[in-house]
Amino acid sequence: MKVAIIFGSESDSEIMKKASLVLKKFDIQVKGFILSAHRVPEKLEETLVSLEQENYECIIAGAGLAAHLPGVIASRTVIPVIGVPLKGALEGLDSLLSIVQMPREIPVATVGINNAHNAGMLAVQILSVKYPELKKKLLDYRKKMKEEFVQRSVLTEDF
């Protein structure tokens, strides 16, 4: 089980790390790359070819501002791409719209602004269709999450 995480700048690392933490919790192999569709397009292209050859099953791509990176990646591979809009300006609305509004034929699944955690969760769900042991872990995780939520739902008297 292998997922690649690609983002446009070192300044995206802190947020994108959250996707990696989720994937590692589910014992998914993660490889991260700082690559940019406008700064190093050739290097991006080479990397996508090797991800295809190495049978990566999902790509999480984070970008801010004119966030074309996830769309460019999706145009060069049929590995499913999950885009993470990062908040660089305009509260992140610019990157959210750039990523979610992909024209017909080349989709990018898009999570909320800065929500790299959910990108990790969605990648786990995508892979769980193929791997029964991962599906079991995911169901156990959901069950635990639900139990913990219920435990916290009764507020103390001093609230």
Residues that bind ligand RP5 (CB under 6 A): 7-9, 11-12, 36, 63-65, 86, 88
For the CB of residue 95, give the shortest distance to ligand RP5 in the complex, in Å: 7
Backbone angles phi, psi at 111, to 5 degrees: -100, 180
**Residue 24: half-sphere exposure toward Cβ, Cα within 13 Å:** 9
For ligand RP5, give the closer residue by CB, 91 or 133.
91
Q: State the pairing for strand pair 2-7/29-34.
A: parallel
Give the distance, in angstroms, between the CA of residue 128 and the centroid of all CA atoms in the same chain.
Answer: 15
For the CB of residue 6, give the shortest distance to ligand RP5 in the complex, in Å: 10
For ligand RP5, give the closer residue by CB, 11 or 125.
11
For ligand RP5, give the closer residue by CB, 12 or 57.
12
Whether residue 10 contacts residue 130, with contact meaning beta carbons closer than 8 Å, is answered with: no
For the CB of residue 22, give the shortest distance to ligand RP5 in the complex, in Å: 20
Q: Among candidates 33, 34, 23, 53, which has minimal Cα distance to 126?
A: 23
Secondary structure element (H or E) that encloses residue 46, with its range: helix 41-53
For ligand RP5, give the closer residue by CB, 113 or 138.
113
For the CB of residue 8, give the shortest distance to ligand RP5 in the complex, in Å: 3
For the CB of residue 83, give the shortest distance to ligand RP5 in the complex, in Å: 11
For ligand RP5, give the closer residue by CB, 100 or 138.
100
Cβ atoms within 10 Å, residue 106: 14
